[in-house]
Amino acid sequence: MPLSEEQNQKLHLAEKLLGYHFADEQLLLSAITHPSATEGKSVKYSYERLEFLGDSILGALVATTIFEHFPNLDEGGLTRIKVALVSGTSLSDVAADLGFADIIVFGSSETGTGRRGLHSALENVYEAVVAALYLDGGYDVANDFIQRTLMPKMTPEMANEPENPKSALQEKLQEDGITPTYRLVETQGPPHDRTFVAQVYAGDQGLARGTGRTKKEAESQAAKSTLARLSEFLGIAANPEKAEAKAAAKAAKAEQKAQRKSQRAAKRQR
């Protein structure tokens, strides 16, 4: 079928960004097409099917690279590095840096929404592009793309990142008598392609935000970001506003504890 001017422009830009010319142009077009642009058409015309394949290919190639780079690392460390690299936040950041926001073909239903689902779309397109490169050019072409774009983010320190950031953050904050809470602050994208934004709070003080395909993933990413910047948020004693927020959180917790104790006493007296 004939392509629109937008599709032709974005195909050419995509090949330029990837540094690769596709023998099968439809593979690339599908990889960069949001489902909102294929309403009434077969699912093969959007990135959904390619995303499924790309996720598996990406996982295998990343795991192989990590395995070869860290011969003395145990299974837990290898897993933590892989999880950090292929997380939704990591992939969407890489895709954004590559300029993928300019090559995604959105449908009319996304017009005027500010492309609220852009974060998840970037992640999905990255995975779909991996699959398209694999199908069109083979293992080496897909692997070269991953090595060039994603693997430079790999660091040995990723092996030390907690498998459960929320538990690790709670443990850290409770040393100061603070229990972190999470709030869903934004929901982006259409119902079939949601992205959630959550924020961590210590008392009334908002800490880092995180995004994810599920609320749980968004909270986990928020906790992970907070852990990375914990001293900035809570540990700078020279900042009176932060010190005040920290003290307020402690006071609030103490007040809640006193109220519960009072309520239990009142019940016993009845």
Write out the catalytic residue numbers.
55, 127
Question: Tokens 């050419």 belong to which residue?
Answer: 12
Q: How far apart are CA 223 and CA 71, in angstroms?
A: 30
H/E stretch holding 205? strand 205-212
Asked if 208 and 229 count as a contact pair (C-beta separation under 8 A), the reply is yes
101: nearest Cα among 85, 77, 125: 125
**Beta strands 195-202; 205-212: pairing state:** antiparallel
Distance CA(107)–CA(39), nearest Å, equals: 8
**Cα–Cα distance measured from residue 236 to residue 215, given in angstroms and rounded to the nearest whole number:** 30
Q: Cβ(32)–Cβ(95) under 8 Å?
A: no
- Which amino acid is present at 74? D
CB 9 within 8 A of CB 103: no
| 104, burial (CB in 10 Å: exposed 0-12, middle 13-18, buried 19+) | buried
- The single-letter code of the amino acid at 156 is P
3-state secondary structure of 7: helix
Instruction: Report the C-alpha gap between 212 and 194 in whole angstroms.
Output: 9
